[in-house]
Structure formats: C-alpha cells, structure tokens
Structure 1
Amino acid sequence: MNASTAWRVPSPAEIPGLSYDALVEHLRLSKVNVGHYQSVVSALQEELAKRSPTNAYRCTKCGHTEYQVGAIRTARSGWSSFFGVETAQYHAIICAHCKYTEFYQGKVPPGQQALDFLFGS
C-alpha cells in the first residue's frame, strides 16, 4: 500500500484487486477500526479464503484431495542467521497420499523475531 491508500477503507469492488499483503493488512486494521470496516470485513475475509492454497486442494502430482499443513521458519540473511533470528516463515501444504509438498511464503511477526534474538531459536 502506498501512502495515499494506507488509511482508506477499500470498497467491495476494489477488494478482489488488492494484493494478499493488502488484504491481510486491512483485516488487521478492521480489528482496530471496527466502525470504519464494518461494511467490508466479510468481503475481505471471503477474498482471503478464496486465495487460500487449501481451498479446493488437489495435489498437482497425484491429484489426491487430502492434505496436511506444516510450517518452517528460516533465517534470510547472514546476520539474522548469525544471531539466530528467523525472519522467514513458509507454510507447507503436504499431500496426504504422495507427500508432495508445496511451500507458501508467510511472515514472522516482529515480536517473535525479537524473542528469537533474545532467547535464540
């Protein structure tokens, strides 16, 4: 989101054109600014659910429809690796039949990164 659209509530027609990160940010803002987002919260949630990799899941390798979900966290750069701060998170969707695995990028919250730095990963 750029500075001109950062605080503007999207209209229902604009929601399908938003990036994944913008959808997540607007949902976060909807918890803080309940009154402003009241008319579009359900549309934001529905759009996010449509984009889920597990929505109508079918393994691209064997065609099976059952899956398991996992996650991994890794360090992205030399410094974060040196200090034991895991700054990258990936969600794994694993086929229950053939174990073919797809990874989707996520985010590690800054608070968790701080805890990693203080206590090690």
Structure 2
Amino acid sequence: MERQQYVCPKCGNMHYESDQFQATGGNFAKVFDIQNKKFATVTCTRCGFTELYKRMNSDGWDIIDFLIG
C-alpha cells in the first residue's frame, strides 16, 4: 500500500502525529461502559488541526474488551 504525504488543510504543514482512541456509542454501551467505537487521529504538529478516521471493529476484540472490562 502506498503511503501518501500529509499536508495540513489549515496551515499547509507537512508534519503530523497520529494516535487512536475509543469511545462509547449507544445506550447499551454506555450502561456497561463498553468502548465500541474506535478512531484513528491525525494531528498537525504546527496548528493542532485534528482529523478523525473511524476504524473498523473486530467482533472478537469487542468480546475480549467486554470480558476484561
């Protein structure tokens, strides 16, 4: 897979940091504190502009996350 060069749409900077986070979604997930929404982030190191990209969930990992809590 070819890696594309990052250019911040706000300031034109070409340097970034990437990370990920999880969040709850829906009433069932909130009640049981299940973080079933996964996102990747790309943040410009100059201006802080951040883009979110939804990641696909793996049902097997969701079950493990639920059991471990």
Number of aligned pairs?
69
Q: Which runs of 5+ in 1 are unaligned?
A: 1-45
**Which amino acid is 2:44 matched to?**
C
More strand, by proportion? 2
Cα RMSD after superposing both structures = 1.5
Q: Which has the higher contact order (CA 8 A, sep 6+)?
A: 2
User: Identity of aligned pairs, percent?
Assistant: 25
Q: Where does the alignment leave 5 or more consecutive residues of structure 2 unmatched?
A: none
- Output one character per residue of 1:19-58: Cα deviation in whole Å (capped at 9) or x when no partner: xxxxxxxxxxxxxxxxxxxxxxxxxxx4xx46xxxx1210
The correspondence for 1:69, drawn from 14, 18, 31, is 18
**Equivalence for 1:104:** 53
Structure with higher helix content:
1
Show structure 1 runs of 4+ deviating over 3 A.
none
TM-score by length of structure 1 reads: 0.52
Alpha-carbon shift at residue 89 of structure 1 (Å): 0.7
Bigger-Rg structure (1/2)? 1
2:32 is equivalent to residue 86 of structure 1: no
Instruction: Please give the TM-score of this superposition, normalised by the length of structure 2.
Output: 0.85
